[in-house]
Amino acid sequence: MHREILDVIRRALEEDIGAGDVTSQACIPADRRASGTFLARAPLVLSGINLLPAIYEARGGVEELTISHHDGDRLEEGTRIATVRGLARTLLECERVALNFLQRLSGIATLAHEFASMVQGTKCRVLDTRKTTPGLRRLEKAAAACGGVTNHRMGLFDAILIKNNHIAAAGGVRQAIENSRAAGLPIEIEVRTLDEMNEALANSATHLLLDNLSPQQAGEWIGIIDGRATVELSGGIDLDSVRSYAETGADFVSAGAITHSAKAVDISFRLELL
């Protein structure tokens, strides 16, 4: 497991447990054993289940952990996701952190699946964005991929995306493109007007980002581009509009809502004494 994820788990447990779970320590004998079951309380696409072993290991481990489903699985209400056996105090210490990860990440995967389903039958693919919870990007992008969308760049370091502020700072579209070529990375440029679009194409831009256009406008601009560049559409695209944007002929649509507005799904944890 990536060290960033292990660090996130450690910090989440420290944040919740602190100096100790005073409630469990006060009312539950130290040697009391129990079993717990994670249940889907609504239809969902699962993500984050692979975190459970690391969560329990960080608190001393458990006797047995049985994972019944995998990331990316579509589950119906009432489905048993996983069961765990061990010290009752350990199970209770880890309960909220485990649920927080599962509910949040499965919520993203579930919303991502809805977006991906809406563009089926078109050539368009849905992209996620960098609009993620600080510190959780690796996990949230993995969850988006579980739901069937395509990961855009992980961060500022793995691809060039020239946006309007970069264009202003560089001194124009042509200069921004020319300055970027030496980096040897994929280059995408945002264009806000037809003049900017034509200038980008004249300077051999191969990936254009068209932002905040209506589906009708986007279709018109894509017609002018006529296959000379790959096209991504962005700007307030949601479940109600994504199909219309996909039908414009765009190669990609990006939706920040997949990560910044996903609703946590309902997953419960039921504990029983052994």
- Residues involved in catalysis: 96, 131, 163, 190, 211
> Which phi and psi angles does 131 have, rounded to 5°?
-85, 70
In this structure, the number of other CB atoms found within 10 A of the CB of residue 12 comes to: 21
The residues, any chain, with a CB within 8 Å of residue 128's CB and separated by 6 or more, are 112, 140, 141, 144, 149, 150, 151, 152, 254, 255, 256, 258, 259
Give the integer Cα–Cα distance in Å for 53 and 47. 14
154: helix, coil or strand? Answer: coil
Q: Which residues pair with 188 in a beta bridge?
A: 161
Give the integer Cα–Cα distance in Å for 162 and 174. 11
> Quick one: which of 71, 46, 67, 45 has its CA closest to 56?
67
Structure tokens at 200: 């980008």
Are the beta carbons of 269 and 38 closer than 8 angstroms? yes
